[in-house]
Amino acid sequence: MAVNVAAQGDSVRVAVGLGVDTSSAPNHEIFGLWSDYLRSRPTCLTPSRMGPGGDLLCSQVYQGFTSFTVVNLEPAASLDSTYLIRTIVGTIEDSTRAYYPLALYRTYAVRKGGHWALANALPVETRGWQHERIGRVTFVFPSTHTLARAKAEGSARFVDSLATAWSLTPPDSIGYYFTDKPKDTQRAMGLDFIPAPDTAWGLADTQHEMVFVGSSRSGESYRHELAHLVLIPFTKVHAPARLVNEGLATWLGGSAGLRFHELIPPLAHYLSAHYSLTLDQIMADPPRREGSLDVGYDGFAVLCELVYAKGGLPGITALADAGRDPKAVLDTAARVIGVSREKLDEAWRERVDELAR
């Protein structure tokens, strides 16, 4: 069933859950502060009232949804002058009036200089974690975890080598937060619930130059998100289509905790069973991820690899410069590869088969 996200013009609704006190002091003041923040329609592109670092959950919970319910507003355990705010965000489906939650998440209100200020959950939840800086990357992880140093050092080298190969200036300092499980990393961010895979998950926060990873296999070496951070100067200038952007990060850094070459055999198997699937269709409506297989990410990773093989970095730049229109993107890919537009899908499938062998 399709779920309709409210239009930008719809008003934001902030409700109060059962048993939540918003009348007594300081609850009333904190609730007013939080309600005003939500009604301001925070985004990752606008200045945030969530402390000096900005709202670390902006890309996850503010996606056009307008229904918020505060389910907890109470003093935070073991923290002085700090209140916990737990909120559900979601949407109501028009025809059935059923409620579809996107996320249940935590923020804090902290008393500073005689007034209350909003704060992210991450510094609170990770205050006892270990920090280990290797090169440009500071790995932040639970105290119960032993750092796999070889993997961490490989990731730090990956950042520098990719930046050098693409003549880019990488971030001076990358915060790399990871645990063995997606849900544990998400909880550290303040996300008590959000739809995500159970085995491997990653998020690149390009605004704050941070990476969040949950993976038992690739905790220290989840390079897809690091590739996104290194490519920030390139993507800011050239603004590639979403799948071109994700394809680049998948080709260079893998996906779902796997390296690029490990992703290709399952992709080849999928394409052999879906012989009529085209790149146009993938751009318009990518198949849903199944385990570690993401046909959109993996398929466009192969397309990026093929464009690079034929046209080098100038070819990749042309593909990124093609913009967001699928026709322009795929016309450009065909031109760089040196085939007619009608033969692009055939050339792409042949490359998938070659790489899968």
Summary mean pLDDT of the chain: 93
Radius of gyration over alpha carbons of the chain, in Å? 22
What would the pLDDT profile of 8-26 be if each residue is shown by its tens digit? 446 899 999 999 999 999 9
pLDDT at 98: 83
Compute the 3-state secondary structure of the chain and give helix, strand, coil in percent, each to the nearest 5.
40, 20, 35
Distance of CA 272 to the CA centre of its chain: 30
- pLDDT-derived band at 52 (thresholds 50, 70, 90) equals low
Determine the residue type at 316: I
How is residue 45 written in tokens? 């592109």
In sequence order, which residues have a C-beta less than 8 Å from that of residue 296 and are 6 or more positions away?
Answer: 243, 246, 282, 286, 287
What would the pLDDT profile of 229-256 be if each residue is shown by its tens digit? 999 999 999 999 999 999 999 999 999 9
Across 129-168, b (16+ Cβ under 10 Å) vs e yields beeeebbbbbbbbbeeeebbeebbbebbebbeebbeebee
pLDDT average, residue stretch 162-172: 97
What would the pLDDT profile of 60-91 be if each residue is shown by its tens digit? 998 888 899 999 999 999 899 999 999 999 98
CA quadruple 318, 322, 326, 331: dihedral, nearest 10:
-50
Q: Is the domain defined by 13-120 classed in CATH 3.10.450?
A: yes
Helices (H), the chain: 27-39, 58-61, 122-125, 149-165, 182-189, 223-230, 232-238, 242-253, 260-273, 279-284, 295-321, 326-337, 344-356
What are the boundaries of each domain within the chain?
13-120, 126-234, 239-357
Strands 99-112 and 191-193: antiparallel
Give the residue from 232, 233, 299, 229 showing the smallest Cα distance to 260.
299
How is residue 101 written in tokens? 């939650």
Overall pTM surpassing 0.85 (yes/no): yes
CB 70 within 8 A of CB 14: yes
Give the residue from 126, 176, 184, 186 showing the smallest Cα distance to 155.
176
